[in-house]
Amino acid sequence: MAQTYLIFISMVILLFSSIIYLDTQPSETHKTDYPDELDIEALVLQSEDQKLIYGYTLFTATDQLIGPRASKVEKQITGNALQCTSCHLNDGIKPYGIPLYGVTERFPQYRGREDKIGTLAERINGCFTRSMNGISLDENSEEMSAMLHYIGWLDQFMPPKDVEFGNGLKPIDLPNRKVNLTAGADAYQKHCALCHKSDGQGQKSPENNTYIYPPLWGNHSYNNGAGMNRVITAAQFIKYNMPFGISHDAPILTDEEAYDVAGYINQQKRPQRALLEKDFPTLIKKPVSTPYPPFADDFSIEQHQLGPYQPIIAYYKEKYQITKTK
């Protein structure tokens, strides 16, 4: 009898301890930061795949290889201080840090900005001419081929099926009001100036002249035609990625702060891209926070730049049955 009792007790203990054990294991659905910890650089170098190594180097040292710091003028394709990784964070694998895993299979793809089906090389050139304030890279060049190879290689780091995919950017709840530029300036000094500096010009490494903290406005930043120059896009990027080092699981800024600070940085002077009026040939497809005209509505340029966006979103819903999220 005593023996049966003991067996019973030990089984109960076993049961409870396994419940506690299971409970303390990270739950599958919460491994959202999955690929963050990987050392991509080490993996690239280990591969000994020369094309991959070149693609990776172009992606992470863009300004030196094919930008303003390239020694040959014909190699100066980008026109600012940024690297691809300034925005495609953690070498292009940060969930909601505009990761580039899983991108290759989504192209060719329809794009509203050009109103046509475009290839991945053309999409990359969208970032070359806007985010990087440069000219287009020859689609048949060795450089483009290496970048495509690297982006395709990133597919292996796609989060497993049961984990949040994390592609693109994570939406925020847009405050239903105009951006408050004073609050944005305050949030900037409090949360951003430490690295990007009070004047937004970032900071170079004293050793090799490479920016450790990239500029957010001015001549060396993205131009006014870039996706990052839209308040909604910038607010989503900032909320879930800045101050640098945070994961989207644990943001520091509130939606209000991200919105105001995004409005603040995008009101500063930056390179201007020509012929922007030709973007979005089908005007009703233009994202609501695109800062430059023309628009298919009568809201002011200022409202497109600083909100409130809810009335614009409601207008397209009612008039064209289009649900706009950006």
Interface positions with ligand HEC (CB under 6 A): 62, 82, 84-89, 98, 100, 103, 106, 120, 123-124, 127-128, 131-132, 147, 167-169, 191-192, 194-196, 213-216, 221-222, 226-228, 233, 237-238, 242-244, 253, 261, 265
* Cα(235)–Cα(263) distance, integer angstroms: 8
CB closer to ligand HEC, 94 vs 295: 94
Rounded CA-CA distance 133/38 in Å is 30
CB of residue 9 to ligand HEC, shortest distance in Å: 54
Q: How far is the CB of 13 from ligand HEC (least distance, A)?
A: 48
Q: Rounded to the nearest whole angstrom, what is the least distance from the CB of residue 174 to ligand HEC in the complex?
A: 15
220 or 300: whose CB is closer to ligand HEC? 220
Pairwise CA distance, residues 65 & 81, whole Å = 12
Peptide bond into 99 cis (omega under 30): no
Nearest distance from residue 69's CB to ligand HEC, in Å? 14
Q: How would DSSP label each residue in 7-42? A: HHHHHHHHHHHHHHHHHHSPPGGG-TTGGGG--HHH
Q: Directed axis angle between helix 255-266 and helix 231-241, to 10°? A: 130
118: enclosing H helix or E strand = strand 116-118
Non-local (6+) Cβ contacts of 105 within 8 A are 155
Nearer to ligand HEC, 62 or 64 (CB): 62
- The amino acid present at 270, given as its one-letter code, is R
Minimal distance, residue 182 CB to ligand HEC, in Å: 16
Q: Which is nearer to ligand HEC, 84 or 174 (CB)?
A: 84
The number of beta carbons lying within 10 Å of the beta carbon of residue 86 is 22
Residue among 172 and 261 whose Cβ is closer to ligand HEC: 261
* Shortest Å distance, C-beta 270 to ligand HEC: 10
- Looking at the Cβ atoms of 215 and 291, the one nearer to ligand HEC is 215
Question: Which residue, 172 or 226, has its beta carbon nearer to ligand HEC?
Answer: 226
Q: What is the nearest approach in angstroms of ligand HEC to the Cβ of residue 94?
A: 9
Contacts of 268 (CB under 8 A, 6+ apart): 200, 216, 217, 218
Q: How far is the CB of 11 from ligand HEC (least distance, A)?
A: 52
Pick between residue 84 and residue 312 the one whose CB is nearest to ligand HEC: 84
Classify residue 132 as exposed, middle or buried by CB count within 10 Å of its CB (0-12, 13-18, 19+).
Answer: buried
User: What whole-number distance in Å separates Cα of residue 23 and Cα of residue 226?
Assistant: 45
